[in-house]
């Protein structure tokens, strides 16, 4: 190689290196996931099989509170519950999905309706998913709190 082509290579490398570095840390976005990754604890609302759970909270309770990384996979459905998690290790929750283009395409929803009025004004206690830990990841799960405030004013004209 000539000295000129070597310096051209060096320039190319300098230009491309940052791209390569960025790429190495990027997680590829999946288009779908409809079955649990190996080792995952499974949540299935109806027809839960042996070793599976019908609520998300029951699956979380089944995880050891240690530093191990754990994954929970949730089959499609609407789960009516409040979820609290405080285990120490990395925890990932995956909702089954066939379309990762946006939240409206998600097939797993966790929903409940606790108002601050019902929890003595404590907003944390109203959350559908209460995450009291670091290292937590949630994918393709919609969270809802469907509380509605109904203000009824009774006016009496005398």
Ligand X SMILES: *[C@@H]1O[C@H](CO)[C@@H](O)[C@H](O)[C@H]1NC(C)=O
Give the residues lining the site for ligand X (CB under 6 A).
65, 86-88
Cβ-based nearer residue to ligand X, 88 or 143: 88
Min separation Cβ 122 and ligand X, Å: 17
Min separation Cβ 81 and ligand X, Å: 16
CA-based nearest residue to 129, from 62, 55, 57, 25: 57
What count of other Cβ atoms lies within 10 Å of the Cβ of residue 41?
20
- Phi-psi category of residue 140: left, alpha or beta, with phi > 0 → left and psi -120 to 50 → alpha: left
> Residues 121, 125, 126, 131: is their CA dihedral positive or negative?
positive
Cβ-based nearer residue to ligand X, 55 or 142: 55
Min separation Cβ 57 and ligand X, Å: 11
Cβ-based nearer residue to ligand X, 34 or 86: 86
Kindly state the tokens that stand for 112: 């409940």
Give the H/E segment covering residue 88: none
Min separation Cβ 87 and ligand X, Å: 5
Cβ-based nearer residue to ligand X, 44 or 87: 87
């Amino acid at each position: 190689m000539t000295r000129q082509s070597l310096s051209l290579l060096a320039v190319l490398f300098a230009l491309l290196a940052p791209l390569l570095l960025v790429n190495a840390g990027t997680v590829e976005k999946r288009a779908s996931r409809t079955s649990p990754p190996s080792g995952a604890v499974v949540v299935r609302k109806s027809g839960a099989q042996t070793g599976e759970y019908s609520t998300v909270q029951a699956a979380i309770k089944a995880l050891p509170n240690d530093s191990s990384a754990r994954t929970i996979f949730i089959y499609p459905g609407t789960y009516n519950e409040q979820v609290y998690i405080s285990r120490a290790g990395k925890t990932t929750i995956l909702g089954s999905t066939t379309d990762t283009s946006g939240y409206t395409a998600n097939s797993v929803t966790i929903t409940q309706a606790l108002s601050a009025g019902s929890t003595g004004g404590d907003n944390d206690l109203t959350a559908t998913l209460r995450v009291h830990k670091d290292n937590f990841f949630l994918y393709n799960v919609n969270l809802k709190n469907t509380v509605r405030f109904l203000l009824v004013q009774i006016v009496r004209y005398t």
